[in-house]
């Protein structure tokens, strides 16, 4: 379920008048506007507000597909607001010591709230009063981020005053403030802001543009009903989002548990008819010596009796790729991949570079179908199996592991995934922090019988696929 699209649909229906039924007994919006105009005229006469300046650019062309319900009307923001003012254009220098007088910017208006008040500008009392004389925010005012992070909104509900940098616009409206916020959050207005923002380094949607914006106005009682209905639906969307996040975290934990069971021999049954792993290992590597696990004592795994411990070097032939050297131009230009192409269980081949390779280079740097590739740097240990029907070359920060005999490479891919999750590789202070060729070859791994390797890999594949399909349905 795409909750972002669902949220946008709710907001769109709300400002189209399609979320709640109209009530013919409601006072028409036109009457509400006349009352607002009269109130504003009185405030102008009293010198409490200034008369707004209308722009000739005002139009409703972006509403051409909107048919207003009976009792609704259009008005500009300046028609329905007594204050539309942005914050300080020349914010004062912050105090070295924290004070009770704070100034926020657009970065503090996120997720319908004023947040991160530990990351604000602290002002002297005098500087605060000078800045605050411009905005004079009150409870119930709508905040709108008008520079840089455009279009985020919240309703001011703090019990103490704060002041603002230019990136925040303070709006005091005479319609229902929560309906106005709903409108400002709607797709049509957010798109309008995005299309008409000005500037190069930092885009801005400035107070004259906000003032000239047209708003579809329902009757006041309908505004209240719309907000109540929309909020109840948006709360459900929020619950779904929370559930998705919680489910996602649970799925990560579930996958980790599956790997734990798989690589400790507890996911699939052991078969007494399987050739013991030690015999497989002796056949793969006649010079096999029992693995010294002391160097990796943090690898805490218990394995079945039919399994054995081995090193990566016991099971795989290992090579790294070619170092990029601008001074060496010998060889034929050929495609190669780097760690930027290698992700967990996949490759991104949208951008593939070239460099020259000699015959000697190709011998150690060529990857063929079935090879296990592992990152030496960056996200150390990140792995994927090359399953393409063509060969490719690798740069030196990728390890190539090629089985010395018939083994299930997919099983060993899952070993590396588990080791990465447990910080056995790429960790801080435990096991291997990097992954040099020496470290990789000495890395101790659990080796099951060959047939069991295939059973484990198939079972993990199936379980992970089922889990991923569940995630897609959320």
pLDDT of residue 250: 81
Give the model's confidence band at 244: pLDDT under 50 very low, under 70 low, under 90 confident, else very high: confident
What tokens were used for 159? 């019990």
Averaged pLDDT, 289-296: 55
Distance between CA atoms of 4 and 11, rounded to whole angstroms? 11
Alpha helices, H only, 47-197: 77-80, 125-135, 177-185, 187-196
Give the model's confidence band at 98: pLDDT under 50 very low, under 70 low, under 90 confident, else very high: confident
pLDDT of residue 56: 45
Count the helix, strand and coil residues of the chain and give each as a percent rounded to the nearest 5: 40, 20, 40
pLDDT value at 447 more than 80: yes
pLDDT of residue 291: 55
pLDDT of residue 148: 83
Q: Cα separations (Å) of 50 from 209, 211, 388?
A: 17, 13, 70
- pLDDT tens profile 246-271: 777 888 888 999 999 999 999 999 99
Determine phi and psi for 324, rounding to 5 degrees.
Answer: -75, 120
Averaged pLDDT, 386-399: 94
Averaged pLDDT, 291-315: 78
pLDDT value at 335 more than 70: yes
Element (H, E) at 107: none
Of the candidate ranges 251-265, 292-306, 349-363, the one whose mean pLDDT is the lowest: 292-306
Distance between CA atoms of 260 and 281, rounded to whole angstroms? 23
Averaged pLDDT, 168-177: 97
pLDDT value at 1 more than 70: no
Q: Which residues contact 4 (CB under 8 A, 6 or more apart)?
A: none
What tokens were used for 387? 């399953």
According to CATH, the topology of domain 3-240 is: Adenine-n6-DNA-methyltransferase TaqI; Chain A, domain 2 (3.90.220)
Q: What is the 3-state secondary structure (H, E, C) of 356-369?
A: EECHHHHHHHEECC
Determine phi and psi for 108, rounding to 5 degrees.
Answer: -90, -5
Cβ proximity of 211 and 76 under 8 Å? yes
Name the residue with higher pLDDT: 433 or 243.
Answer: 243
> Within a 10 A sphere around the Cβ of 436, how many other Cβ atoms?
12
| Most confident among 36-40, 243-247, 422-426 (mean pLDDT) | 36-40
Name the residue with higher pLDDT: 278 or 297.
Answer: 278
> Within a 10 A sphere around the Cβ of 440, how many other Cβ atoms?
23
pLDDT value at 407 more than 60: yes
Count CA within 13 A, CB hemisphere, residue 365. 22
pLDDT of residue 297: 56
* Cβ density class 92-116: b for 16+ within 10 Å, e for less: bebbeeeeebbbbbbbbbeeeebee
Name the residue with higher pLDDT: 238 or 185.
Answer: 185
Give the model's confidence band at 428: pLDDT under 50 very low, under 70 low, under 90 confident, else very high: very low
pLDDT of residue 105: 94
Averaged pLDDT, 195-208: 91
- The neighbouring-strand residues paired with 173 are 81
| Most confident among 37-51, 217-231, 233-247, 423-437 (mean pLDDT) | 217-231
- Could you check whether 3-240 and 264-473 share the same CATH topology? yes
**Mean pLDDT rounded to a whole number for the chain:** 89
What tokens were used for 255? 């996958």
Give the model's confidence band at 198: pLDDT under 50 very low, under 70 low, under 90 confident, else very high: very high
pLDDT value at 93 more than 70: yes
Distance between CA atoms of 249 and 170, rounded to whole angstroms? 38
- pLDDT tens profile 101-112: 999 999 999 989
Averaged pLDDT, 181-208: 93
Of the candidate ranges 275-284, 366-375, 465-474, the one whose mean pLDDT is the lowest: 465-474
What tokens were used for 349? 């081949």
pLDDT of residue 298: 63
> Which residue bears the tokens 């409870």?
139
Burial of 312 (0-12, 13-18, 19+ CB in 10 A): buried
Q: What is the DSSP string of 274-294?
A: SPPHHHHHHHH-TT------G
Distance between CA atoms of 313 and 296, rounded to whole angstroms? 15
What tokens were used for 295? 């160097």
* 3-state SS assignment for residue 258: helix
Alpha helices, H only, 18-136: 29-45, 77-80, 125-135
pLDDT value at 429 more than 70: no
Averaged pLDDT, 172-184: 97
* Cβ density class 333-356: b for 16+ within 10 Å, e for less: ebebbbbebbeeeebeeeeeeebe
pLDDT of residue 167: 96
Domain ranges of the chain: 3-240, 264-473
pLDDT value at 279 more than 70: yes
pLDDT value at 430 more than 50: no
Averaged pLDDT, 146-164: 93
Averaged pLDDT, 376-391: 92
pLDDT of residue 239: 79
Determine phi and psi for 145, rounding to 5 degrees.
Answer: -80, 115
pLDDT of residue 433: 54
Looking at the chain, the whole-number percentage of residues with pLDDT higher than 70 is 92
According to CATH, the topology of domain 264-473 is: Adenine-n6-DNA-methyltransferase TaqI; Chain A, domain 2 (3.90.220)
Distance between CA atoms of 466 and 461, rounded to whole angstroms? 9
Strands (E) located in 378-421: 383-385, 392-394, 398-403
Averaged pLDDT, 70-93: 95
Count CA within 13 A, CB hemisphere, residue 25. 0
Cβ proximity of 394 and 400 under 8 Å? yes
Averaged pLDDT, 165-170: 96
Element (H, E) at 374: strand 372-375
Averaged pLDDT, 433-443: 83
Give the model's confidence band at 31: pLDDT under 50 very low, under 70 low, under 90 confident, else very high: very high
């Amino acid at each position: 379920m795409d909750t972002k699209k669902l949220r946008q649909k709710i907001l769109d229906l709300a400002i189209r008048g399609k979320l709640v039924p109209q009530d013919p007994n409601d006072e028409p919006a036109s009457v509400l506007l006349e009352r607002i105009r009269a109130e504003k005229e009185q405030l102008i006469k009293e010198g409490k507000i200034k008369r707004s300046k209308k722009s000739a650019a005002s139009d409703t062309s972006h509403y051409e597909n909107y048919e207003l319900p009976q009792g609704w009307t259009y008005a500009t923001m300046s028609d329905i607001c007594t204050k539309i003012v942005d914050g300080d254009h020349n914010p004062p220098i912050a105090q070295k010591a924290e004070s009770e007088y704070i100034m926020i910017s657009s970065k503090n208006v996120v997720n319908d709230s004023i947040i991160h008040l530990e990351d604000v500008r602290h002002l002297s009392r005098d500087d605060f009063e000078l800045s605050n004389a411009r905005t004079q925010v009150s409870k119930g005012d709508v905040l709108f981020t008008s520079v840089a992070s455009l279009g985020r909104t919240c309703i001011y509900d703090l019990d103490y005053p704060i002041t603002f940098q230019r990136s925040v616009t303070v709006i005091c409206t005479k319609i229902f403030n929560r309906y106005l916020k709903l409108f400002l959050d709607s797709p049509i207005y957010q798109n309008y802001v995005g299309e008409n923002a000005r500037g190069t380094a930092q885009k801005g949607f400035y107070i004259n543009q906000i003032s000239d914006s047209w708003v579809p106005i329902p009757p006041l009682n309908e505004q209240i009903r719309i907000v109540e209905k929309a909020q109840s639906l948006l709360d459900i969307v929020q619950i779904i989002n929370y559930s998705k996040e919680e489910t996602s975290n649970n799925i990560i934990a579930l996958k980790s548990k599956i790997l734990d069971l798989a690589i400790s021999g507890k996911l699939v049954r052991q078969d007494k008819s399987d050739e013991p792993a030690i015999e497989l290992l002796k056949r793969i590597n006649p010079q096999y010596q029992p693995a010294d696990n002391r160097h990796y004592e943090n690898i805490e795994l218990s394995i079945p009796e039919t399994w054995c411990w081995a090193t990566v070097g016991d099971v795989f032939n290992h090579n790294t790729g070619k170092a990029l050297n601008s001074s060496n131009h010998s060889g034929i230009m050929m495609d190669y991949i780097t760690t930027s192409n290698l992700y967990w269980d996949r490759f991104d081949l949208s951008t593939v570079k070239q460099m020259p390779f000699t015959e000697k280079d190709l011998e150690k740097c060529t990857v063929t179908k079935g090879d296990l590739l592992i990152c030496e740097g960056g996200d150390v240990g990140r792995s994927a199996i090359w399953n393409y029907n063509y060969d490719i070359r690798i740069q030196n920060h990728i390890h190539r592991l090629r089985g010395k005999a018939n083994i299930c490479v997919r099983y060993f891919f899952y070993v590396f995934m588990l080791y990465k999750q447990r910080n056995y590789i790429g960790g801080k202070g435990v096991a291997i922090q990097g992954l040099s060729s020496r470290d990789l070859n000495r890395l101790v791994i659990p080796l099951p019988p060959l047939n069991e390797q295939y059973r484990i890999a198939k079972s993990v594949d199936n379980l992970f696929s089922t889990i991923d399909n569940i995630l897609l349905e959320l």
